[in-house]
Amino acid sequence: MAQKLKGIVPRAWRLIKRILLFLFLFQFVYILLLKWVNPPITITQLQSLVTGHGLKRDYVGMKQISPYAKLAVICSEDQLFPDHDGFDFKSIEKAMKHNQQSKSLHGASTISQQVAKNVFLWQGRSWFRKALETYFTFMIELIWSKKRILEVYLNVSEMGDGVFGIESAARVHFGKSARYLNRTEAAMIAACMPNPKEFTIKPLSRHVAGRYPWILAQMTHLQEDEEIQGLIQ
């Protein structure tokens, strides 16, 4: 019996190593492919469909998106997006201190981290998922361009109940294509993104009503930044 176990353990270990190697190569090729190809579907989108919230999405290229929409999400979600390598450590430290002292949780995810989570992973707060998010954030920052990260973010993020991507959000909320969104409309969509099922545009929720004017002010303040201009034009 002991002799049989001695033979089984090495074979099992070889099998595990092959599986891990396959998974590593598969995810690497997938990340590389998504540098040019839009994700077919994400776990979050699939979950929205299965749980009855529906799935409205329509991927568009950067040229089909209003510069105001690009500027609004940067101002709302990650103003240091052009400068960091995927992680805003000062904001992470600040959020950790807040969460230790308060029952309300503050996040500090960058746009890159949100893309990693939304494209490759599931929603949740486990340390295992966070570790995977860190890995995928590092990989897309390494392989993709900042413009590509922003483009994917604008196409896969939920911007309404079951509404994914800026094109679908523009059509659902304002009856127009994303390329024609004005400053105020773009700011309102950005304001709903932390929790689009609760922070609604129609009817206008208290959160969106209070936040979108702040986003508009930030857009005015940051719109002349050269690095941001390079991303939104």
Determine the pLDDT at residue 76.
Answer: 96
Instruction: Answer for the pair 152, 39: CB distance below 8 angstroms, yes or no.
Output: yes
Question: Could you tell me which CATH number the domain at 34-232 has?
Answer: 1.10.3810.10
Q: Which two tokens stand for residue 181?
A: 């969104």
Instruction: Answer for the pair 158, 53: CB distance below 8 angstroms, yes or no.
Output: no
pTM above 0.85, yes or no: yes
Compute mean pLDDT per 10 residues along the chain, 233 residues long, and list them.
Answer: 60 80 88 95 93 93 97 96 85 50 57 95 87 95 97 96 96 97 98 94 95 97 93 91
Determine the pLDDT at residue 142.
Answer: 96
What does the domain layout of the chain look like in residue ranges?
34-232
For 60-70, the pLDDT digits (tens) are 999 999 999 99
Rounded CA separation 129/7 (Å): 34
| DSSP-assigned states of every residue in the chain | -HHHHHHHHHHHHHHHHHHHHHHHHHHHHHHHHTTTS--S--HHHHHHHHTTS--EE----GGGS-HHHHHHHHHHH-TTTTTSSS--HHHHHHHHHHHHH-SS------HHHHHHHHHHS-S---HHHHHHHHHHHHHHHHHS-HHHHHHHHHHHSB-STTEESHHHHHHHHHSS-GGG--HHHHHHHHHHTTSTTTS-TTTT-HHHHHHHHHHHHHHHHHTT-HHHHHHH-
For 134-145, the pLDDT digits (tens) are 999 999 999 999
67-77 helix and 206-222 helix, angle to the nearest 10 degrees = 110
Determine the pLDDT at residue 104.
Answer: 42
